[in-house]
Every structure is written in structure tokens, then in C-alpha cells.
Chains A and B, each alone.
Chain A
């Protein structure tokens, strides 16, 4: 059996196992666990899209929470019915043209991604001229401007009150379906010539430019695609939690996505998935330390904020002791489970090529 057939069969088995799990889970797991499993998929989508901007293309972006906010609000405004909207806007009446908007969930998801991508393009054109840290701080500023706009544009967004009663459209099929699409897209993208161009721009921009690559256009395109992912993730998140408000999209949201990407490995698709699983479950699991705990006759009161303290310590430790993350820039491969074939020169060459690429 050659490698291609083997990998195809293994992929099919893995996919079937996932589908079986998704079919089994809703009836057998409680709502809290289901929400975490959903969140893993959404965070994986967000992590992958941030990784495209940062890990694959090397643009330090701290603006992802802004794109999430745009996506979540666009989707919510498209899904809520006219009655819900008139009832919810208490402080100021809603803009009349927003009232009749009512679309199916899938349409709202795509619209959320597109609007976020449009804003991504808008911010990318001026800001991507900057490099490195300046880009980070400018995108952070952009995300903050978006958040402040949401707080203040009450006739559109209902201000700081946020939106409630969004129907819980995001179920396991929806979130994992979206993740699947995003994943396939990312794999195809990174294996295509455009993927090579992205890596070239990341590793040495000037060299890439000398080779005739239009680096600015490449970066703008990657940034726009990444912001689409951010909007999509935000929309899914809003429809999972069923309520959104501007506070959800503070800079801390971007930080946790950044952690997913960095802990998993910058520039690794597999890494972002592993990072999403680890960080999402750990953030939930760490809630234990914030709840009152009784061990035998020993009573420990809950300490609010402790979760984030432990979390940030772990982040610093990961950065200091394993700065390339869990996966580095490597990707998952079925070859790991099989002994290496002798005289497999092609395979060897592939491995050494992968080890050569390092993320700055």
C-alpha cells in the first residue's frame, strides 16, 4: 500500500470517528461540556485565522478581538427578529433600516465574515505599511476603536447593554462543520504557491521583494482572509453564548487567542488546533480554583481572578522554556506512527525542508 492510500484511509477513519463523536455527544454529555467542546472548535477557527496573519505571514496583529466583535454584531443584527430588536433597544431606538434585516444563520455567518474582512482590508491598506511592533499597536488601537464605537453607537449596537436572546444556532455540527471548512481551506492554502509566498514574506521580506513578490499585496490579502476568520469565529461565538456585549471583545480576548497560537506553535496548523484544545479546556478547568473548595474538613474560599494569575504564569513559563510552542512550525503527519522506510529519500528531503523554516 503506498503512502497516499494509507493516509487517505487513516484520514477517513479519523473523520468518521469525529462524526460519530459529534453524533453521540449531544445526547450523552451535559450542556456545560457541550459548550466547551463547541468553544474548542470556535477557538480553533479563531486561532487558525490569527495564525494565518501572525504565524504564517509574520504580521504581529493584536486586533482580532475587533474582528470578532464586528462578526458577532453583524450576525446578531441579521438574526434577531424585528420584534426582538424593538424590544431590546431601550436607551435609544434602533435605526429603522436595521429592523427588517432578517436572514438565515448561514447567511449571517458569511455576512459576518465578509464585513469583518472588509474592515480588515480597510485597516490593512494604511496600517500594513508599518512593520513589527508598530503594526501590533496599531491593530490593537483599531480593535479598541471598534469596541468604543460599539459602546457609543447605541442606535446600531444597543451600546454597553449588548444584545441578548440571540438564538443558539451554533451546535456541534455547525461549529465543527465550520472548523472543517476552515481547516481544509488552510491546508490547501498553505500547500499552494500562495502559502510559499506567505512563508517567504515572513522569513525575509526584503528577499521576497527582490524575488519579485508584491509583499504589500500578499500581506493585505492574508490579513483580509484572517479577518474573515475572526468575524466568522465571533459570529459563531455570539450564537453559542446567545448574548454579546462590548466587554466580551476587550484586548484580553485577543491575548487568549494569541496564547492559543503561541502555545501551539506559530505557523503550525496542527499547533493551533492543539493550542485551542489545551487553552480552552485549561481555562475552564482552572475555574476550579475560583470556586470554593472543600477537601475533607479543609475549606478553601474561592478566589476571583486566581484563574488568570495561574494562566498568565503558565504562559510566561511556556514562552521562557519552550519558546517555539508545542509544535514549532511542524505539522501533524501519519508518518509519526509508522517506522521510517529505508531509502525513502523523498521523505527525508521533505523533513529537512520543514526543519529549515523557523519562525522569527
Chain B
């Protein structure tokens, strides 16, 4: 493998990994607060991609406006999911909420099949995003550079919200002890809704960038990125936002590099993440940046 090719693969891996990271943040925040694997998160990602397809290609809105509407739409869907399927189950056993999440995921995927039809649709890539820039022998497109840059800027912004603002303080407080936080006069449901909104917005944005990278949308497109992002969140240590990003990038590298170095294994592409997950859980059950769990007696 030449150096040029290696650089090329690195850029690809960084792009894919930062997308995984963006989705993983939604998982990690919800899990950190509610101890719930939000299985519907990957489908919010799918909705984001579909909305941008409709706003920009079907309704011919300009890209900036279309993206904004898509993010807003997916965020509202995320909020609705929390309000309808999760909030009534706050006091229920955790497993009920988890099954409700599976139900919602199922619902969104099949509703998308009914409304948008199961046919994959092509997304038109704006030409200015795809015009290649040559750096020596390495071909880069603006999209390939923008995706990681946007992702990392957003993570920095999110970290600022979580660690420097009052709602962020409330979020961290809920993740420690939801009941005590409620007693302190925090409107817990609003903060949880805010968490879902932030996570959904990031997932939608990831969905949009995904649809531009791999230019098509289909109802089940969120399933595998969703699983992998969850794995990235576990990998980085669930509950940790930087961990989610690091986990996503590592996963992106593992996936891209394994195919680059062993092209014959490309059929097993989707299995790598799961194998990695099982190994990690065995070696370090709480992930890279996770806290040590103590057994409560």
C-alpha cells in the first residue's frame, strides 16, 4: 500500500468514524441519563436523510434551508418519540422502555416503507461538495474534509453545553440521580426532552451527511449505522461524549482499514463492529473512558 493510498483511506476512515461518533453521542447521552438503549435513534438518522431528500430534491428548496428544515423535522420526531413511547414508562422497569424502543424503531422503519416506499432513492450530490482537490496524489473532495470538521466542531459545542451551561449541569445531575435532581426543583422531563432534541439533531445531521457520502436513502438505512454507533458508544465508555466520538473514529478506522488491507473480507464488513464489541466488553466492560461500575448491594 502506498503512502498516498494510506492517506486516502485515513481521510475516509475519519469521515465515516466521525459520522458514527455523531450518532453515538445521541445513544450515549440518552443511556447516560435514562439507562435506555434508544433503538429508535438510528431511525431518526434515517428520517433526517429522507427529510433532506424531500426538501432539496422533491421541493427544490435551497440546500441551507432544506438542511435546517430536515434537522428541525427529525428533532421534532425525536421529541415525539420520547413523549409518546418513553415518558409514560419512566417509572416502569427498564426492560419495558427498551421493548418500547424496539417497537418505535420497528414502527418508524415500516412507516417509512409505507410513506416513502421501500425503493431506495438516489440523492443528488451538490457539485461544489464533490469537486476534487488534488493534494499531491491524494484526491480529496470538500465533503470528505467537511464531515469530520463539522462533527468535531459540533462535539466541542455540545461539550460546552453539557459542561458550562445550566441545562448541561441539570443533565449531568440527572445522570447521577434522577430523583434527587427532581427534588432540587429541576424539571426533569424538560431536560430529558432537551437531551433527546440534541441527540436527534446530531443524528439527523449525521444522516444528511451520510446521504451525501453514499448518495441514496432507504427506510432501513439507519439500522446498521445505528448498531455501529451504539457499539462506538459502548466502546468509548457509555455516558461519555468525547468517548463516543473517539469510539466512533476507532470503529471507522477498523472498518475502512480492514477492508483496505484485506479486500477478501469485505463481505464480513458489518461483522467487524460486533466482533470488536464482544472483545471490548470482555476486556474492558465499561469502555475506554467509562467509569468503573461498582456492584451495589
By a beta-carbon cutoff of 8 Å, the part of chain A in contact with chain B is 60, 126-127, 129-130, 132-134, 136-138, 140-142, 144-145, 148-149, 151-152, 206, 251-252, 255, 258, 262, 266, 303-306, 308-309, 311-313, 315-316, 319-320, 323, 359-360
Against A, the Cβ 8 Å flags (1 = close, 0 = not) of B46-89 are 00000000000000000000000000000000000000110011
Considering only CB atoms, which chain A residue lies closest to B115 in the complex? A305
Against A, the Cβ 8 Å flags (1 = close, 0 = not) of B262-289 are 0000011011011101100110010000
The answer to whether B93 and A258 have CB atoms under 8 Å apart is no
Top 7 closest pairs, chain A to chain B, by CB: A141-B274, A305-B113, A312-B107, A308-B110, A312-B106, A315-B103, A316-B103
Known: A140-B274, A255-B106. 7 other contacts (CB 8 A): A129-B282, A138-B278, A144-B271, A304-B113, A311-B106, A319-B89, A319-B103
Which residue of B100, B278, B282 is within 8 Å of A141 (Cβ)? Answer: B278
Return chain A residues, CB-CB under 8 Å to B113: 304-305, 308
5 CB < 8 A contacts A-B: A129-B285, A138-B281, A206-B297, A313-B103, A319-B96
The answer to whether A134 and B92 have CB atoms under 8 Å apart is no
Considering only CB atoms, which chain B residue lies closest to A256 in the complex? B106
The answer to whether B281 and A312 have CB atoms under 8 Å apart is no
Considering only CB atoms, which chain B residue lies closest to A132 in the complex? B94
The answer to whether B278 and A308 have CB atoms under 8 Å apart is no
CA distance A184 to B277 in the complex (A): 38
Against A, the Cβ 8 Å flags (1 = close, 0 = not) of B227-240 are 10011001000000
Considering only CB atoms, which chain A residue lies closest to B109 in the complex? A308
B99 interface residue per 8 A CB criterion: yes
B23 interface residue per 8 A CB criterion: no
B104 interface residue per 8 A CB criterion: yes
Interface of B is mostly: helix
A309-B114 CB under 8 A given contacts A319-B89, A320-B89: yes
CA distance A323 to B86 in the complex (A): 13
CA distance A129 to B113 in the complex (A): 38
The answer to whether B110 and A312 have CB atoms under 8 Å apart is yes
Considering only CB atoms, which chain A residue lies closest to B31 in the complex? A133
The answer to whether A141 and B114 have CB atoms under 8 Å apart is no
Central interface residue in A60, A141, A252, by most chain B CB within 10 Å: A141
The answer to whether B110 and A145 have CB atoms under 8 Å apart is no
Return chain A residues, CB-CB under 8 Å to B297: 206
Return chain A residues, CB-CB under 8 Å to B273: 141
CA distance A263 to B98 in the complex (A): 14
Return chain B residues, CB-CB under 8 Å to A127: 278, 281
The answer to whether B270 and A148 have CB atoms under 8 Å apart is yes
Interface of A is mostly: helix
CA distance A247 to B94 in the complex (A): 30
B22 interface residue per 8 A CB criterion: no
CA distance A144 to B278 in the complex (A): 12
Return chain A residues, CB-CB under 8 Å to B285: 129-130, 134
B167 interface residue per 8 A CB criterion: no
CA distance A305 to B277 in the complex (A): 32
Which residue of A136, A145, A149, A323 is within 8 Å of B37 (Cβ)? Answer: A136
A312-B282 CB under 8 A given contacts A133-B37, A319-B96: no
The answer to whether B282 and A320 have CB atoms under 8 Å apart is no
B295 interface residue per 8 A CB criterion: yes
CA distance A55 to B230 in the complex (A): 25
The answer to whether B271 and A306 have CB atoms under 8 Å apart is no
A144-B89 CB under 8 A given contacts A309-B114, A316-B103, A319-B99: no
Return chain B residues, CB-CB under 8 Å to A136: 37, 98
CA distance A255 to B37 in the complex (A): 15
Considering only CB atoms, which chain B residue lies closest to A309 in the complex? B110
Query: Closest CB of chain B to A271's CB: distance in Å?
Result: 14
Against A, the Cβ 8 Å flags (1 = close, 0 = not) of B93-135 are 1111011101110110111011000100000000000000000
The answer to whether A308 and B106 have CB atoms under 8 Å apart is yes
The answer to whether A306 and B100 have CB atoms under 8 Å apart is no
The answer to whether A145 and B275 have CB atoms under 8 Å apart is yes
CA distance A305 to B103 in the complex (A): 14
Return chain B residues, CB-CB under 8 Å to A138: 277-278, 281
Return chain A residues, CB-CB under 8 Å to B103: 312-313, 315-316, 319
CA distance A355 to B95 in the complex (A): 20
The answer to whether A137 and B96 have CB atoms under 8 Å apart is no
The answer to whether A323 and B107 have CB atoms under 8 Å apart is no
CA distance A162 to B7 in the complex (A): 39
Which residue of A145, A152, A252, A360 is within 8 Å of B274 (Cβ)? Answer: A145
Query: Closest CB of chain B to A306's CB: distance in Å?
Result: 6
The answer to whether B275 and A126 have CB atoms under 8 Å apart is no
Considering only CB atoms, which chain A residue lies closest to B85 in the complex? A316
CA distance A196 to B280 in the complex (A): 33
The answer to whether B278 and A309 have CB atoms under 8 Å apart is no
CA distance A311 to B111 in the complex (A): 11
The answer to whether A360 and B93 have CB atoms under 8 Å apart is yes
Considering only CB atoms, which chain A residue lies closest to B275 in the complex? A145
The answer to whether B114 and A306 have CB atoms under 8 Å apart is yes
A360-B95 CB under 8 A given contacts A144-B270, A145-B274, A309-B107: yes
Which residue of A148, A303, A316 is within 8 Å of B107 (Cβ)? Answer: A316
